[in-house]
Amino acid sequence: MSRPQAPYDGVAVCAPVTAPYVRFSNESAHWWAGAALRQLREDAGLAPADIDGFCFASFTAGPDTAVGMAQHLGLTPRWLDHLPTGGASGVMALRRAARAVQCGDAELVVCLAADTNAIDSFRHGLANFSRFSQDAVYPYGFGGPNATFALITDAYMRAYDVTREDFGKLCVAQRANAGSNPLALQRKPLTMDAYMGARPIADPVHLFDCVMPCAGAEAFIVTTPEIAASRGLPAANVLATIERHNAFPDDPVQLRGGWEMDIDSFWQASGITPADVDCLQVYDDYPVIVAMQIEDLGFCPKGAVADFIRTTSFTIDGDLPLNTNGGQLSAGQAGAAGGFQNMTEGLRQILRQPLGEQVRDAQIALVSGFGLVNYDRGVCTGAAALRAQR
């Protein structure tokens, strides 16, 4: 029924930047956006006038949106987008910006996510997150995302015979990957014993299954290969992308994500297979979502993830390097920037600009996003395959 996806010819993705995270910040999202732009100024020699496209994501910039942010930051773009898709916003920013550049609506788009985290802002953010949450989730123990994902985890473990040790292996590997990332908030090695012995947060979710909310910003540039080259920026091509919202609404519990609806066409359009992926950067608010993506993106059959985890190594030097910066579970979750760090980290690895250790011979990164638990499940999913231009 659907047309094949047109290729992303004439698009270059480059200049991944990360404003170093802090656990709590009294600065505003605007300040954090400025910090990321300063990084781009250093790394790419960018000035406001160079930017003719701006794509922005944030939960804490209110009352401002991308509009207010453009004026705040002195931008005069001819193309502007604001993404409310949280953990899926990095992939979605890429998709939109790539088509804008490809079609000539803009030629240098800065995609930027920034969020702050004051002492009490997580609680306030929760309370006003979504109407369904307000009506039908928070009144039930106010466990926040922990409780929602605990329910998914509980059902998922029973449906597919996944154990806590399996999730533990993912978390331990990601923590090992964070070891070399100087920007990760949690770098202390995590042992399986420590993982298993952690205190319960919302059974079966325990402490090391949860991300640490923090403040930070992430950004990257989508432009033409010519502009990237002229600025001396190593760049990557976009092989294929997908996006889906509110997939499988009739599933009683979210045991699969929207990726499953589109994954065949995704691989077909990309011209590669899962075996070609050098590093996998998936959204990791909870390990159950990591496991779900491994299945739904086609790295193993549905229901076989336990075996796959047990027989695969996910460290930087492993079979399938996973969330090589440590992921949000170790690096921290800076709001919507948490939906960008998979993109910036994937880019860094294939552009050979790693924050820490380099995945050997990395050419192809698969980046996957998952966002917005509006009620009982994440609504937005997306994925992108990137290959370094060499």
Partner 1 sequence: MTTRPPKETRDPVARKKARHLSPGKRSRAMHAMSARAAQGRFVLQVCEDCGEATYPPRDACPVCWGELDWEDQPNGATVLCETSVRVSTNLYFRDHLPWRMGKVALDAGPVALVHLHRSLGPDDRAVVRAMLDRGGNAALFALPSPGDIDMTDPQLREFVVPITGKTVLVSDARSAIGLEVVKAMHAAGAALVVAGMAPPDRRLGAGEEVLSLEGVQQMPLDITDQTSLSEALSKVGGPLDIVINTARYVRAGGVSSGGNLVDQRHAFDVSAMGLSRLAQATGPMLAGRSHGAFVDLISSDALIGSANHAGFAAAEAARLALLQSFRHEMRGGGVRVMSVFTGPVDDEHHQKVPPPKVAPRRIASAIVDALTQGREQTCVGDVAQDAMARWLDDPALYAREKNL
Q: Which residues bind partner 1 (CB under 8 A)?
A: 122-123, 126-127, 131-132, 134-144, 146-147, 150-152, 154-155, 158, 199-205, 249, 252-253, 375-376
Amino acid at 358: Q
From the CB of 197, what's the least distance to partner 1, in Å? 15
Concatenating the DSSP letter of every residue in 183-248 gives T-S--S---HHHHHHSPEEETTEEGGGS--B-EEEEEEEEE-HHHHHHTT--EEEEEEEEEEES--
Question: Minimum CB separation from partner 1 for residue 305, in Å?
Answer: 18
Which CB, 198 or 280, lies closer to partner 1? 198
Q: How far is the CB of 190 from partner 1 (least distance, A)?
A: 19
Name the CA dihedral angle for 374, 375, 377, 378, rounded to a multiple of 10 degrees: 0
SS3 279: strand
CA 16 to chain centre: 13
Amino acid at 274: P
CB of 34 to partner 1, least distance (A): 29
**Min CB(360)–partner 1 separation in Å:** 40
CB 128 → partner 1: shortest distance, Å?
Answer: 8
Pick between residue 126 and residue 229 the one whose CB is nearest to partner 1: 126
Q: Where are the beta strands (DSSP E) in the chain?
A: 12-22, 53-57, 79-83, 108-115, 200-202, 205-206, 215-223, 235-245, 279-282, 364-373, 378-388
Displacement of CA 79 from its chain's centroid (Å)? 23
Q: Which CB sits closer to partner 1, 115 or 357?
A: 115
Please, which residue, 137 or 185, has the CB nearer to partner 1? 137
What are the Cα distances from residue 330, in Å, to 186, 187, 212, 321?
Answer: 5, 7, 8, 15
Residue 159 Cβ vs partner 1, minimum distance, rounded to whole Å: 9
Which among 323, 328, 325 has a CA at the least distance from the CA of 338?
328
Are 379 and 372 a contacting pair, CB within 8 Å?
yes
At residue 104, what is the residue type? G
Residue closer to partner 1, measured from CB, 205 or 263: 205
Between CA 254 and CA 145 the distance in angstroms is: 14
Shortest spacing between CB 204 and partner 1, in angstroms: 8
Name the residue nearer to partner 1 (CB basis): 142 or 264: 142
C-beta of 289 vs 316, nearer to partner 1: 289
Please say which residue, 76 or 134, places its beta carbon nearer to partner 1: 134
